[in-house]
């Protein structure tokens, strides 16, 4: 179907199936009229780590875009997209998103697990399908995911803290800067400081010296910002049960909003014990994939709050399903995010459908590295403490090739 024919058809059709959910009602009039003609993937380096971008093309001349979670070189996810997912999608109706995602997930099961690079590839591709579906139907993505949207802007948190956590003068200056930040963000997530690097630790132990240093640091930070700023304490799945509990108890007087990922990723009964005994809410989830990974943490009460990396968890709809499961246990949701503006906006579209959503990680108006002009977007990305979503079809942005081409990885060719 050519774009002109498609647009003419759209003008003549009116969805009237009000008994269906918003997506099905809108999709009914266009069902089986459009086919996927190609799936492309290109490795991008928008300032911080490689993030493969996905483009899905159709015979209506409409394309959808998505972003895969970062990896060291990007070759893994790109290989899965081009040499496996592409053949599953060509010729298919792009509105059959749940069926196509099921086929993609089952199709990679023999690669080892429903996690890692294969699911990164599927999530980026699924997000491109949602962008495409919104454009086909003429509505924002968040209006058609899992029953529609709760909000049109998503509360934001910023990752980063003061470099000097002992000099109170420097801390006061940092606090003043934070409070005057034009983005209006009032939630800050900060890493703990440790003598061992989290990427290459020797063990899961927190020394008494490091414990005292972090307690003093966050006491200084709380004194500097007062009650105006919420503080999240970020670990990188670093500690054993005893040291995680000691850290939580030591930080409790500073009233952190949460203690994030204090123990190794895998679920064990120790997570339940930590959640029961910690005076600080326990948050986890950024390294988990699909409902299957989140299920024991939610159903066995292995944390107080769930943190979903929406752009790697298995898809925008899968993230919505995870949040629905957490909602049954009255657990608030946050979103881990290390995406460019492409991934950040896609993630926020899904977050907008989650009723008990608390905060979405951001790195300012340029995503995690790169330029805000890598896409064309009609507003500031972060304003009034929220990620701002527009009412344009799909994710609401378009790729700006004049800027984006500067961020292509070596050896990549622009997909047009």
Q: How far apart are CA 94 and CA 16, in angstroms?
A: 21
Residues of the chain with pLDDT under 50: 4, 6-8, 10-20
Provide the pairing of β-strand 51-58 with 382-383: unpaired
Which domains are delineated in the chain?
3-140 (3.30.390.10), 153-407 (3.20.20.120)
Burial class of 91 by CB neighbour count within 10 A (0 to 12, 13 to 18, 19+):
exposed
pTM of the model: 0.91
Q: Quote the tokens at residue 204.
A: 């899961």
Partner residues linked to 333 by β-bridges? 306, 357
Question: Residue 196: what pLDDT?
Answer: 83
Residue 172 tokens, joined: 């006061």
Q: Are 67 and 52 in contact (CB under 8 A)?
A: yes
CB atoms within 10 A of CB 191: 15
3-class secondary structure per residue, the chain: CCHHHHHHHHHHCCCCCCCCCHHHHHHHHHCCCCCEEEEEEEEECCCCCEEEEEEEEECCCCEEEEECCCECCCHHHHHHHHHHHHHHHCCCCCCCHHHHHHHHHHHCHHHCCCCCHHHHHHHHHHHHHHHHHHHHHCCEHHHCCCCCCCCCEEEEEEECCCCCCCCHHHHHHHHHHHHCCCCCCCEEEEECCCCCCCCCCCCCCCCHHHHHHHHHHHHHHHHHHCCCCEEEEECCCCCCHHHHHHHHHHHHHHCCCEEECCCCCCCCHHHHHHHHHCCCCEEECCCCCHHHHHHHHHHCCCCCEEEEECCCCCCHHHHHHHHHHHHCCCCCEEEECCCCHHHHHHHHHHHCCCCCEEEEEECCCCCCCCCHHHEECCCCCEECCEEECCCCCECCCEECHHHHHHHECCCCCCCC
């Amino acid at each position: 179907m050519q774009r002109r024919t498609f647009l003419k058809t759209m003008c003549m059709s009116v969805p009237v199936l009000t008994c269906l959910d918003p997506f099905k009602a809108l999709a009914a009039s266009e069902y089986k009229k459009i086919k996927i003609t190609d799936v492309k993937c290109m490795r991008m380096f928008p300032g911080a780590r490689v993030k493969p971008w996905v483009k899905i093309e159709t015979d209506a001349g409409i394309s959808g875009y998505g972003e895969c979670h970062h990896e060291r070189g990007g070759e893994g996810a790109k290989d899965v997209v081009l040499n496996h997912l592409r053949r599953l999608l060509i010729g298919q109706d792009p509105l059959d998103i749940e069926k196509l995602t099921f086929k993609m997930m089952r199709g990679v099961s023999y690669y080892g697990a429903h996690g890692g690079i294969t699911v990164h590839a599927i999530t980026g591709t699924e997000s491109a399908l949602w962008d495409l579906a919104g454009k086909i139907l003429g509505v924002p993505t968040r209006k058609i995911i899992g029953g529609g949207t709760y909000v049109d802007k998503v509360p934001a948190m910023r990752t980063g803290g003061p470099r000097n956590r002992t000099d109170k003068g420097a801390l006061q200056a940092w606090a003043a800067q934070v409070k005057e930040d034009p983005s209006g963000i009032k939630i800050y997530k900060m890493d703990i400081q440790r003598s061992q690097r989290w990427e290459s630790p020797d063990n899961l132990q927190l020394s008494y010296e490091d414990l005292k240093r972090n307690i003093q640091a966050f006491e200084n930070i709380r004194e500097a910002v007062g009650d105006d700023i919420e503080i999240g304490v970020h670990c990188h799945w670093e500690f054993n049960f005893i040291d995680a509990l000691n850290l939580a108890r030591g930080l409790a007087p500073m009233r952190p909003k949460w203690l994030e990922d204090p123990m190794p990723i895998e679920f064990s009964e120790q997570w339940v014990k930590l959640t029961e005994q910690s005076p600080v809410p326990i948050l986890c989830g950024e390294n988990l994939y699909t409902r299957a990974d989140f299920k024991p943490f939610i159903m066995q009460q292995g944390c107080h709050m769930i943190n979903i990396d929406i752009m790697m968890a298995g898809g925008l709809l899968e993230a919505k399903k995870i949040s629905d499961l957490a909602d049954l246990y009255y657990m608030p949701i946050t979103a881990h995010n290390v995406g460019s503006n492409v991934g950040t906006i896609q993630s926020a579209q899904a977050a907008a459908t989650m009723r008990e959503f608390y905060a979405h990680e951001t790195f300012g108006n340029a995503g995690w590295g790169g330029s805000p002009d890598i896409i064309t977007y009609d507003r500031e990305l972060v304003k009034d403490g929220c990620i701002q979503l527009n009412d344009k079809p799909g994710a609401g942005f378009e790729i700006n090739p004049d800027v984006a081409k500067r961020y292509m990885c070596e050896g990549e060719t622009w997909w047009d």
